[in-house]
């Protein structure tokens, strides 16, 4: 199964991955409309880490034995038809167990409108995730683990 991997030494902290993710998960898919209202702007599903000269975008690594699925008390964490670990937002109660057990720290909380976990879904309507396409420095790669 393909996953998104960061290549830390190639990241230049441009944050184009964040913009692409927000636009891709917005209802309009339009950058201006996606950013026009901060209250309704979709959250970035990747976590951008920056410390001094080091930076990279972190997203779900799609673990084979995903501890987030095992820890989910409501069954909101599971795999879709593609085998991708996803959150069923209708079943998520915001207990945050998945956040606590993720070995990569790749999940986050959406608390603006409701308490749910949020994570990378590998852009189900695209062949290549938006963040990977937007990364001009090839700091994100979408491939099978080598």
What is the CATH classification number for the domain harbouring 98?
3.30.70.20
Query: Residue 85: what pLDDT?
Result: 96
Q: Are residues 54 and 108 in the same domain?
A: no
Kindly report, residue by residue over 26-57, the tens digit of the pLDDT. 999 999 999 888 878 888 888 888 887 888 88
Q: Are residues 3 and 38 in the same domain?
A: yes
Question: In this prediction, what percent of the chain has a pLDDT beyond 70?
Answer: 99
Per-residue pLDDT band at 144 (split at 50, 70, 90): confident
The pTM (predicted TM-score) of the whole model is: 0.88
- Domains: count for the chain: 2
Which residues have a Cβ under 8 Å from the Cβ of 132 and sit 6 or more positions away? 4, 17, 140, 141, 142
Beta strands in the chain (DSSP E): 3-6, 47-51, 54-58, 77-79, 85-87, 108-110, 116-118, 140-143
């Amino acid at each position: 199964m393909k996953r998104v991997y960061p290549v830390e030494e190639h990241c230049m902290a441009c944050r184009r991955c964040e913009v692409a993710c927000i636009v891709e998960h917005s209802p309009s898919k339009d950058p201006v409309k996606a950013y026009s209202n901060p209250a309704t702007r979709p959250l970035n599903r990747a976590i951008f880490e920056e410390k001094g000269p080091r930076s990279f975008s972190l997203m779900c690594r799609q673990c084979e034995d995903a501890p987030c699925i095992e820890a989910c008390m409501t069954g909101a964490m599971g795999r879709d038809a593609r085998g991708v670990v996803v959150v069923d937002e209708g079943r998520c109660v915001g207990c945050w167990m998945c956040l606590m057990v993720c070995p990569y720290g790749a999940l986050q909380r959406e608390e603006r409108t409701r308490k749910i976990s949020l994570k990378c879904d590998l852009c189900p309507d695209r062949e290549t995730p938006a963040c990977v396409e937007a990364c001009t420095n090839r700091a994100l790669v979408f491939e099978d683990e080598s």
